[in-house]
Amino acid sequence: MPEDSIEHIDFDALNSKAISQPLVTNIYTADPSAHVFNGKIYIYPSHDVDAGDAFDDLGSHFAMEDYHIISMDSPSGEAVDNGVALHVNDVVWAEKQMWAPDANEKDGTYYLFFPAKDYNGIFRIGVATSKSPVGPFTPQPEAIKDSFSIDPAVFKDDDGSYYMFFGGIWGGQLQRWRNGSFNAELPDSPFAFLPEENEPALSAKVAKLTDDLLEFAETPKDVLIVDENGNELLQGDTDRRFFEASWLHKYNGKYYFSYSTGDTHFLCYGIGDNPYGPFTYAGKILEPVVGWTSHHSICEFEGKWYLFYHDSSLSKGVTHLRSVKVTELTHDEDGKIVTIQPYK
């Protein structure tokens, strides 16, 4: 639900119709990446702060500077804010804008993957480690070599391989990397360097990680989303094409790549046979929420599946002050995800 349509919303009435309520209210949280470690749910969100910057299409008002990890014993249990796990001041290479993170675990070490702008104003992706899923996390001295853009999501496959999905257009700068290197030419606009509407849409990226989960083991590849005829989705297909917020989960042997359409405010997904895709577009996961962005994660807990997402209802529609929520997600008999309506 875009910001220009919320002026006349009765938020008390809306919140009473919401299918779920904010997990924490002491801070604003967004972009939740949820995982189950040792039988407990850990959520790795962005921490929204009011930096006072005017709204713009480059996301300057999303000025997040640290990460708090939320833990829960179950999806219906109490959500605990475990305090600051990593601050931008602790990351040597990063200047600002610690946007949507993710995490994973290997051999008792927990890895926090996060984007931030370096001192040249270019988004890179860093890694920090901890012996605890809630941190504190110690960052690597440099960003992942050849990393770029935003929204890392790290998927562990059944064979023990780890894959990072990443990328986001507009403020996420993915469009500036179309030729393999950062295009710093003016204008400083999210609409510069995008494909034409009749051209294939920009793709998220995927790369297998090295055994230590600290670098790419290969050159990142395009994550292709195709229609029922096998044709790539076009840039002008804004209700279905990729914008940001990659996620991957596996269900009944199939790989589900899900993502946000950004300016049209849907969460969508495609289904494929391996982590690299291609993924055949299969439908919507979530209808638009209050607030500009949609960003999510999907995880299984005790045999049921859950969607973690956010909206701006607690802040009464302030775009960059969001709150993480959770609701049950259902796959039907054909493996399709039943579309969720966020308000009754």
- CATH number of the domain where residue 96 is located: 2.115.10.20
Q: Name the more confident of 107 and 51.
A: 107
pLDDT band at 6 (very low <50, low <70, confident <90, very high): low
Asked if the structure places residue 120 within a domain, the reply is yes
Cα–Cα distance measured from residue 136 to residue 275, given in angstroms and rounded to the nearest whole number: 30
Write the CB contacts of 66 (distance below 8 Å, at least 6 apart in sequence).
47, 84, 85, 86, 87, 88, 98
Give percent of the chain with pLDDT exceeding 90: 86
H helix intervals, the chain: 11-17
Write the CB contacts of 261 (distance below 8 Å, at least 6 apart in sequence).
238, 239, 240, 241, 242, 243, 267, 268, 294
pLDDT band at 14 (very low <50, low <70, confident <90, very high): confident
Q: For 290-304, write each residue's pLDDT tens digit.
A: 998 899 999 999 999
For residue 322, give the 3-state DSSP assignment: coil
Active site residue 31: yes
Q: For 176-194, write each residue's pLDDT tens digit.
A: 999 999 999 877 888 899 9
Whether the pLDDT of residue 57 is over 70: the answer is: no
Cα–Cα distance measured from residue 27 to residue 50, given in angstroms and rounded to the nearest whole number: 11
pLDDT reported for residue 198: 97
Q: For 101-151, write each residue's pLDDT tens digit.
A: 999 999 999 999 999 999 999 999 999 999 999 999 999 999 999 999 999
Active site residue 65: no
Among 48, 102, 151, 244, the active-site one is 244
pLDDT band at 4 (very low <50, low <70, confident <90, very high): very low
Asked if the structure places residue 201 within a domain, the reply is yes
CB atoms within 10 A of CB 188: 10
pLDDT band at 62 (very low <50, low <70, confident <90, very high): confident
Among 31, 48, 81, 102, the active-site one is 31
Whether the pLDDT of residue 330 is over 90: the answer is: yes
Q: For 196-224, write each residue's pLDDT tens digit.
A: 999 999 999 999 999 999 999 999 999 99
Asked if the structure places residue 339 within a domain, the reply is no
Look at the chain and report how many structural domains it folds into. 1
Asked if the structure places residue 220 within a domain, the reply is yes
Q: What average pLDDT does range 53-81 have in this prediction?
A: 86
Give percent of the chain with pLDDT exceeding 70: 95
Asked if the structure places residue 341 within a domain, the reply is no
Range of the domain at 293: 3-329
Q: Specify the pTM.
A: 0.95
Whether the pLDDT of residue 7 is over 80: the answer is: no
Asked if the structure places residue 343 within a domain, the reply is no
Asked if the structure places residue 337 within a domain, the reply is no
pLDDT reported for residue 187: 75
Output Rg (C-alpha) for the chain, integer angstroms.
Answer: 18
Cα–Cα distance measured from residue 79 to residue 250, given in angstroms and rounded to the nearest whole number: 26
For the record, the structure tokens of 207 come out as 């790369």
pLDDT band at 2 (very low <50, low <70, confident <90, very high): very low
Asked if the structure places residue 338 within a domain, the reply is no
